[in-house]
Amino acid sequence: MANDDWKDGIFLKIINVIVYFLFLGSNIYTIAGPEGAYRSGKETYFTPAPYAFGIWSLIHLLLLGAIIYQFFPQGKRVIVDAIAWRFPLLAVLNAIYVNVWSRQHYVVAFIFALLVSSTVTVRSAFPFCIRRGLTHVRFFGSVRFLFAVFHSVRFGSYTDDAMPIRLSACLSPIRQHLYTLFLRFLAPHHIKSTSHQSHQQHIYYIVKRHHASESLNDELWIHLPFSLYHGWTTVLVVLTAFEAFGVNAATHKAGVWTKVFVFLGLFFLEATSATYAFSTPEGDLAASIAIAWSLFAIFEHQTSSAFIHWSALVFALLSVFWIGKSLYGHFLARRGGGVALGDEERQPILGGN
């Protein structure tokens, strides 16, 4: 077939190769650069052990496989025809994020973390959650409360005894936009889309909703990298928020508000891991692993506060339980010769827009 020729869509394929190496280079420079940003950045009470960032290496390796796979017919149909220009956009945004983050411009990095997440993230399937009886959707009520507090704060400089949120006055005009972006990321079912098509425009949703894995290559080079990416960007949004607005752990002790917000951040990650586990009968194993990996790294690194240290361990262990749930789902699917799902059943329940 003509459209299966490796030269079909060659312009976008070349662009994908270029932006991939741009993205890869930005992370290599961050690790091998003179300052070693993963070790010399701002220390917060949510900062994980440096090895947590090693997940980038696995993501890059798998994405390299995706870049090669796009030159084959099945890979081309997903990466070039379906994902299309969203991958170059994701790679460029991620490269910018890594660059500004490594230079410790954390507020700007936080904004780009949201943009990266909104590119890779999917829409919500809140009715699916209700139909399946998932109690974890109640968590979004806590999210609304958290950001109602966040929005009501009179932004300025605060000591740790008051609130671990610090924004310069120049951010006041855009705080409502940040609030909306947060809701789009954390509780998207509360923001109605202006068109049905807007629900279809995110990489994770495209992959999970419309392109079920048909082979080992599909699983390795398409589903696995974007599942890991989705879970890891969730962690990065929360981490960068603490770096942008939280206190410096090197100069401030963990006060009550710091502990509250760290606890809520940890709870959010664990609840996200649970949501991955229930997203389909098999769950999203890779995304849950990315969350658990990060929580264990936070547990190991945060030793100055016993409350944060042991809270991170509890949530990490809970995340392992959700990994076990996904593994059990995979076992049942294999024993049953696979599970045939309809469109609504395959619909992911984690959201972006």
Query: pLDDT by residue (tens digit) across 38-70?
Result: 666 789 999 999 999 999 999 999 999 999 999
Q: Which residue has the higher pLDDT, 184 or 125?
A: 184
Note the pLDDT of residue 143: 40
Q: Which long-range contacts (CB under 8 A, 24 or more apart) does 155-161 make?
A: 159/252, 160/247, 160/252, 160/253, 160/254, 160/255, 160/257, 160/258, 161/255, 161/256, 161/257
Residue 85's CB is within 10 A of a number of other CB atoms, namely: 11
The rounded distance, in Å, linking the Cα atoms of 122 and 118 is: 8
Note the pLDDT of residue 40: 64
The rounded distance, in Å, linking the Cα atoms of 251 and 53 is: 24
User: Is residue 61 one of the residues assigned to a domain?
Assistant: yes
User: Is residue 158 one of the residues assigned to a domain?
Assistant: yes
Q: Which domain holds residue 76?
A: 2-346
> How many structural domains are present in the chain?
1
User: Is residue 98 one of the residues assigned to a domain?
Assistant: yes
Among left, alpha and beta (phi > 0; psi -120 to 50; other), residue 133 is: left
Whether the per-residue pLDDT at 2 is higher than 50: the answer is no
* Verdict on whether the full-model pTM lies above 0.85: no
Note the pLDDT of residue 317: 97
User: Is residue 100 one of the residues assigned to a domain?
Assistant: yes
User: Is residue 331 one of the residues assigned to a domain?
Assistant: yes
User: Is residue 353 one of the residues assigned to a domain?
Assistant: no
Strand locations in the chain, DSSP E?
none
Q: Are 315 and 91 in contact (CB under 8 A)?
A: no
